[in-house]
Amino acid sequence: MKIEQNIPLRKHNTFGIDVNARYFVEISTIDELKTLVSSDIFQNNSYLILGGGSNILFTKSFDGLVIKPNFKGIEVVRETENEIFIKAYSGEIWHDFVMYCCEKNWNGLENLAYIPGNVGASPIQNIGAYGVEIKDVLDSLEAFNFETKQIDIFSNIDCKFDYRESVFKHEYKGRYVICSVTFRLSKQPKFDTNYTAVNDELKRMNVSELSAKTIAEAITTIRKSKLPETSKIGSAGSFFKNPTVSQDIFQSLKTQYPDIVAYPCHPEQSEGSAMKLAAGWLIEHAGWKGFRKGDAGVHTQQALVLVNYGKATGAEILNLAHQIIDSVKSKFGIELAPEVNIF
Ligand code: EPU
């Protein structure tokens, strides 16, 4: 374990923001973590856990210790005729792990293909796409508790998952390093291909038999067409959450804007349930899609995604985000909230 000083973080955040960490350390074992927490540098500085850096906006250099967990490995924990429990360590690259499972016909993660980041970050904001969220497939996770210096085990319920939310964003923020996540996958071909975009892409691919791998390939194609390739254009995926409104508010918006896009939050409930508005639609119809000032912009293909064309600072991206929030609020009366972590 080597604690380095004044390390550029540009390559460690997918927004590509050029800031430094005063101290930076990569951790590959629990023993290293235990050594680190008793060190002077840990005890005298604030710290930040940085996984794949795909859901963070740095607005300034971090004057403390950045800890990058790099635990590696994939293990089968147990299996039955129909299910497999598979543990992935937090430093594994999310998409590679998804494809590993798809190749083996272990089903459940395919809709989450091509999401940037590492396994360890996936539960923190309950990543989700195309009708599936981590909470649907997570069995449990192991996390190192900075207070007790012990490993705690969290069940799915303990994580208090919600839309892009978990206990790790709130009461346990900064308290834990996630070391591994165990997923409960199915050996049966039960797939969720209800999204029109997914269905259309599968038809275009002309697949004769659905498999986790073909669905993951379809989703990868869709994501590549809508979301910027972060190796070329910096971004952190969706910058804002899709806001939830009551049925009454939705109906009055719908009267004014008949094309507004929204989905029921709980499709299983009868009419009258809360609705999730497509924030991308609101931002586009407030006139921001494709906007660019300097190197900070709104993606041309998906207005929910803010981008760094090269040298934008975090403050410039944040300033743009605030302008969008104000403009959407004044046009639609809806308050957007960021889903990325802002530092
Ligand atoms: N739309 C527009 N204009 C836009 C973008 C979207 O009108 O510029 C409308 C379209 O009608 C579109 C609808 O909004 O059909 C929904 O768009 P999309 O399918 O791209 O999904 P989203 O709601 O914008 C969410 C997640 C994505 C996830 C997709 C697919 C959030 C905050 N984002 O986006 O997750 O990949 O659904 O399931 O919930 C992420 O979290 O970083 C992320 C990319």
DSSP string over 52-78? S--SEE-SS-EEEEEEEE----EEEEE
For 138, residues 6+ apart whose C-beta sits below 8 A from its C-beta are: 123, 156, 159, 161, 181, 182, 183, 184
Give the span between the Cα atoms of 333 and 120, in whole angstroms.
Answer: 36
Which single residue is written with the structure tokens 């091509």? 114
Best of 163, 240, 304 for a ligand 1 pocket test (most atoms within 8 Å of beta carbon):
304
3-state secondary structure 203-268: HHHCCCCCCHHHHHHHHHHHHHHHCCCCCCCEEEEECECCCEECHHHHHHHHHHCCCCCEEECCCC
- Asked if residue 321 lies in contact with residue 239, where contact means CB atoms within 8 angstroms, the answer is yes
Catalytically active residues are: 164, 238, 339
How many whole angstroms from 121 Cα to the centroid of ligand 1? 20
Pocket (CB within 6 angstroms of ligand 1):
129-130, 226, 237-238, 241-242, 261, 278, 280-281, 284, 289, 302-304, 339
- Asked if residue 261 lies in contact with residue 243, where contact means CB atoms within 8 angstroms, the answer is no
pLDDT of residue 270: 66
Q: Which atom of ligand 1 is nearest to the CA of 242?
A: 32
Which single residue is written with the structure tokens 């012990």? 150
How many whole angstroms from 2 Cα to the centroid of ligand 1? 40
**pLDDT 10s per residue in the chain (343 long)?**
899 999 999 999 999 999 999 999 999 999 999 999 999 999 999 999 999 999 999 999 999 999 999 999 999 999 999 999 999 999 999 999 999 999 999 999 999 999 999 999 999 999 999 999 999 999 999 999 999 999 999 999 999 999 999 999 999 999 999 999 999 999 999 899 989 999 999 999 998 889 999 999 999 999 999 999 988 999 999 999 999 999 999 999 999 999 999 998 877 776 778 999 999 999 999 999 999 999 999 999 999 999 999 999 999 999 999 999 999 999 999 999 999 999 9
Give the span between the Cα atoms of 335 and 249, in whole angstroms.
Answer: 13
pLDDT of residue 209: 86
At 278, is the secondary structure helix, strand, or coil?
coil
How many whole angstroms from 278 Cα to the centroid of ligand 1? 7
217 CB-contact burial (10 Å; exposed 0-12 / middle 13-18 / buried 19+): buried
Q: Tell me the whole-structure pTM to 2 decimals.
A: 0.94
